[in-house]
Amino acid sequence: MKFESILYVILIVLLGFGFALRIVSQGKQEIPKGVPIKLAATIKKEPRIYESNQVIEIGDGKVYVDLYPRFKVGDKILLSGEVDSEGRIFRPKVEVLGRRRSVSSFFSNIRLKISQNIASYLPSREATIVSGTVLGVDTIEKSFRDDLVKTGTIHVVVVSGQNLMIVAGVFLSLVRYFGRRKSLALACLAVITYAFLTGFEAPVVRASIMVILASIAIYFGRQMMPIWSLILAALLILFIWPQAIFEVSFQLTFAATLGIMTLGSWLTRILAGPVSSFLPAPSINSGQAVLRVYPERSRRAVGNPPTAVTRLIKGFIADNAAIATSAYIFTAPIILFYFGRISPLAPLANILVAEAVFPVMILGFLVALTSLVFSPLAQILSYIAYVPAYYFVKVVGFFAKIPIEQVSFGKGSLLAVLIFYLLIFILFAIWTKKPKSS
């Protein structure tokens, strides 16, 4: 154990030092600021949709254009406009010169096709939930976006490594039902499918690598080794792609994974107590054995043990609640850093909608894939996916109608983030402290 710890420390120090050197020496592709420009470029990243704008990233700048016509990955454009001091170009003149055939453009077309299929299967808001969490297609209407922002749930709908880690975490928590190997295989398969459907965009690929490495660490690790492995995986990714340190997706993935490994693991054990009281004892043939394993409440369960389906549903709800709650708590400081406004009801709203994230993404995967090969089956699956998506929409709508103003706090403040995380770890240490035996 000591040798493993020393090895981890050495690798972490070396990778950390290497990352620091790379980030210092790395040059940035910059565009001139505060002057009119005219340049030709190829769109390499899917444009993001914000209210009535498309936002296209060119170098270290952002180009804001109208919602239509829609631009895609691979489009060669000629734009002319004025860059402000922050590298933004508003309403430039844009001319499409052609389209470069590439892997990115291929996946972009697939995502567009799937998104259109989902929109034809489901009502507008439910389709937005499924497309956003599974494909990263941001087509949220303004009124629904306002509700999501007000309730602090916008980050759940937009594709992120946080959702990916929640799905992987739920699969890993089902080890008692499927076994360790199957749970790990399902978690990794979900991650790979997610990366495929989102077009293997660089941020998603990096988040996927981290989640897969973290899942493997949880599978093979013991005690504190998974956390060391997470840090090692993060530094390895940063050493290869130093720019990932500035990506919100990478930050959310790391925070959510750390939360699930620490607080999530503890909450899972805590919630396992109430859930286990509904489970049959290992040997229901002996009433004495049942009473020894499950005293008090188990007396009522001896003669009528619940079915395997009931046990699975109750265990799934408890595990999903623990994982989603821990992921939200650990990502909240990052969300505050970038958005700076939060409703006092946001924590409760996030915990409630988090129950829908796993079923929406899994069913969304199935709808997306089958829509490309057999539309009738995809239509049937979409009816099932409608249930958790409808629940998500109704929870958001309910909390959005409550007349409570958002609180401004912590936007752009690194100190606030550090204090928030310090408080989380102090409280976690207090909660998990074992009482001294007398």
Q: List the structure tokens of 101.
A: 């055939």
pLDDT per residue as tens digits for the range 79-88:
888 888 777 8
DSSP 83: B
Q: CA-to-CA distance for 360 and 74, rounded, in angstroms?
A: 30
User: Domain coordinates of the chain in residue numbers?
Assistant: 36-101, 153-342+402-432
Indicate the range of 89-103, 157-171, 350-364, 419-433 predicted with least confidence. 157-171
Whether the predicted pLDDT of 282 surpasses 50: no
- Percent with pLDDT over 70 in the chain: 74
Tokens 């909450």 found at: 267
State residue 90 phi and psi, 5-degree precision: -100, 130
Higher-confidence position of 37 and 398: 398
Q: List the structure tokens of 35.
A: 């002057």
Q: How far is CA 183 from the centre of its chain?
A: 19
The mean pLDDT of 292-312, rounded to a whole number, is 48
Closest by alpha carbon to 354, among 314, 317, 313, 310? 317
List the beta bridge partners of residue 62.
Answer: 57, 88
Q: How far is CA 68 from the centre of its chain?
A: 28
pLDDT per residue as tens digits for the range 122-169:
998 898 888 888 876 666 777 888 888 788 777 777 656 677 777 787
**What pLDDT does residue 438 have?**
47
Give the fold, CATH level 3, of 36-101: OB fold (Dihydrolipoamide Acetyltransferase, E2P) (2.40.50)
**What pLDDT does residue 131 have?**
85
The mean pLDDT of 92-110, rounded to a whole number, is 74
Whether the predicted pLDDT of 401 surpasses 80: yes
pLDDT mean across residues, the chain: 75
Whether the predicted pLDDT of 280 surpasses 50: no
Closest by alpha carbon to 354, among 331, 380, 334, 337? 331
What's the predicted TM-score (pTM) here? 0.68
Whether the predicted pLDDT of 380 surpasses 90: yes
**What pLDDT does residue 327 have?**
80
DSSP 261: I
State residue 421 phi and psi, 5-degree precision: -70, -35
**What pLDDT does residue 292 have?**
38
Q: Kindly provide the residue ranges of all beta strands, DSSP E only, lying in 34-92, ordered along the sequence.
A: 36-42, 48-50, 53-58, 61-66, 75-82, 88-90
